[in-house]
Chain A
């Protein structure tokens, strides 16, 4: 079993839909990242959070430390949101990231 599990693996949505991507982890962590990876491979960090909820534009991330679960929500989705979204937890003695396998999101116009 992977230390970081994401669901769903693939997600297709219509423009405007509300989207949720889930992440569960089994290790102790100090924080959790939500990352966005575009087809070329480059990665952008969307959020780093260790408790509660963060919001940036149409993106919202929540984390429940007790339940070892985090969600990423996208409101009013748009085709430009199409990407792979990766959950990564900060673990290890040097704070390296442990990654989920990613969720491939396609938003259709």
Chain B
């Protein structure tokens, strides 16, 4: 149980394109979803936290107008990278949690985004 599906797994696109990444909890209701980013040889870093039906909370330095997060249902959150540029190339991964802080997070397989 506790499967999280993230799609697509890999995206290569031109600069200026907007890219949408989906994160779905397949067999549980995710009250909270997290979006993380990992640059090469770096730690995973939290970008934003989203609770179903609420606006996402963004970490310092993450532009909310560039990284649009929608958590419209208990099983789906989307991250849209708007007008992507080469510096946005990174590994993006979501996690989902059912319940409060004491519950485990379950990870998607990640999306490798390459902007040319």
A82-99 vs B: 1/0 string, CB under 8 Å? Answer: 000010101010111111
Known A-B contacts A41-B91, A41-B112, A90-B101; A97 and B106 likewise in contact (beta carbons under 8 Å): no
Give the contacts of B4-61 with A (CB-CB under 8 A): 32, 34, 36, 38, 42-46, 49, 51, 57
B69 to chain A, nearest CB (A): 14
How many chain A residues touch B (CB < 8 A): the figure is 27
Select B105's contact among A4, A40, A97, A98, beta carbons within 8 Å.
Answer: A97
Within 8 Å CB of A90, what residues of B?
101
* A102-B91 Cα distance, complex, nearest whole Å: 15
Contact A42 B109 (CB under 8 A): yes
Within 8 Å CB of A45, what residues of B?
104-107
A43 within 8 A of B: yes
Give the contacts of A62-86 with B (CB-CB under 8 A): 86
Contact B45 A99 (CB under 8 A): yes
Q: How large is the interface on B (under 10, 10 to 19, 20 to 34, 35 or more residues)?
A: 20 to 34
Known A-B contacts A41-B112, A96-B34; A101 and B43 likewise in contact (beta carbons under 8 Å): yes
Known A-B contacts A30-B101, A96-B49; A43 and B107 likewise in contact (beta carbons under 8 Å): yes
* A31-B11 Cα distance, complex, nearest whole Å: 34
If over half of B's interface residues share one DSSP class (helix, strand or loop), that class is named, otherwise mixed; here it is strand
Contact B104 A48 (CB under 8 A): yes
Contact A97 B110 (CB under 8 A): no
Contact A100 B43 (CB under 8 A): yes
Known A-B contacts A86-B44, A94-B32, A99-B44; A42 and B102 likewise in contact (beta carbons under 8 Å): no
Known A-B contacts A41-B112, A99-B43, A101-B42; A94 and B57 likewise in contact (beta carbons under 8 Å): yes
B97 within 8 A of A: yes
Interface residues of A (CB under 8 A from B): 2, 4, 30-31, 33, 35, 40-45, 48, 50, 86, 88, 90, 92, 94-102
